[in-house]
Amino acid sequence: MTGRPANLPKFTDVPLNKGDPPFSAWGLYGKDDQLGCLNRQTDTIVVEAVKEIKTGVRVSLNWPLDAQSKVHFFSRQVFHKQIIDKSPRTVNDDFWTFNTQRDGLRHFGYQKEKRFYNGVTMEDIHRSKDTEIFKRTSIPLKYLQGVAESQGTEINFGDILIIRVGRTMLSSSLHFPPMLYRFMTLGYMKAFNQLSMDELEKLAKQNPSNLIGVERSEEVLEWIWENFSAVAGDHLAFEAYPPPKDWSMHGVLLAGWGCPIGELFDLDKLAEECERQNRWSFLVSSEMCNVPGGVAR
């Protein structure tokens, strides 16, 4: 697994079509494509990924579904669980209501153009009977513990913190096998769990929200474009929020490239295990919810 795919356009070539939104790559995998950057995860890469299994240690990345059940963020539905007593039989069922944090290609569009990946509109989505979903195994390479500290920045929960990951990594001697899944952790969950109820409510009511995240810059976009097929983190919005530019990372990644974004992944135990083994590459099996026509799974 060396080098970039021969058919991948250079970052300087996007948008691919005149008149398309900033940095978009619509049509790269066909006008009806629904996998986007996940097309980059070829059979060869998956076979190579299996070779990352060195021990039998397994780590779950699932944050409890009810971890944010006390407050509403972004006016979203909080998790609700209802257990149903099926008496007189000795049987229980349960029903869950929740909002997912795996952003798909129909979740966040280009706001000015009002278009999603490959030019899909809101009307297309809400009228569609399409049952296609994405299903791919994904592989992270390196846990970026200490990135903020390496830039001389102290993380204060609830502040706007821009992590200049692209600049840090591009200037380093690290090299990545191509087109993999990038995980980034900023210690969000540890800080979140230490907040009082008053602090949580204050944070949730911020408008606009001030959230830690990855820097919005062309440099970071190019780094992702050249190296990865999906991104994820342990924080709420992946990118620093609110947007300092007239475009957002969500818009470009999801609507422009079809690059899924994972949020609120529980990476603390994974980071500890990486530290213990002193290795930063591993196999991840990550399956999205099989919801035909879903937008964020």
List pLDDT tens digits, range 67-125: 877 777 777 778 889 999 999 999 999 999 887 777 888 889 999 999 999 999 998 88
Query: 54's torsion region: left (phi>0), alpha (psi -120 to 50) or beta?
Result: alpha
Across the chain, the runs of DSSP E, i.e. the strands, are 80-85, 92-97, 102-103, 162-163, 180-184, 213-214, 228-233, 261-262
The tokens for 42 are 């070829």
pLDDT digits (tens, 9 = 90+) for 227-266: 888 888 888 888 888 766 788 999 999 999 999 898 888 8
Residue ranges of domains in the chain: 11-277
Q: Which pTM does this prediction carry?
A: 0.79
Cβ neighbours of residue 212 closer than 8 Å, sequence gap 6 or more? 155, 157, 159, 160, 161, 163, 186, 188, 235, 240
Question: CATH fold of 11-277, please?
Answer: Glucose Oxidase; domain 1 (3.50.30)
Print burial letters for 278-290: b (CB count within 10 Å at least 16), e (below 16): eebbbebebebee
Higher local confidence (pLDDT), 291 or 47: 47
Q: pLDDT by residue (tens digit) across 164-180?
A: 444 444 444 444 554 56
Express each pLDDT in 23-48 by its tens digit: 999 999 999 898 899 888 888 888 88
User: Radius of gyration over alpha carbons of the chain, in Å?
Assistant: 20
Distance CA 129, CA 75 (A): 27
Tell me if 168 sits within 8 A of 80, measured CB to CB.
no
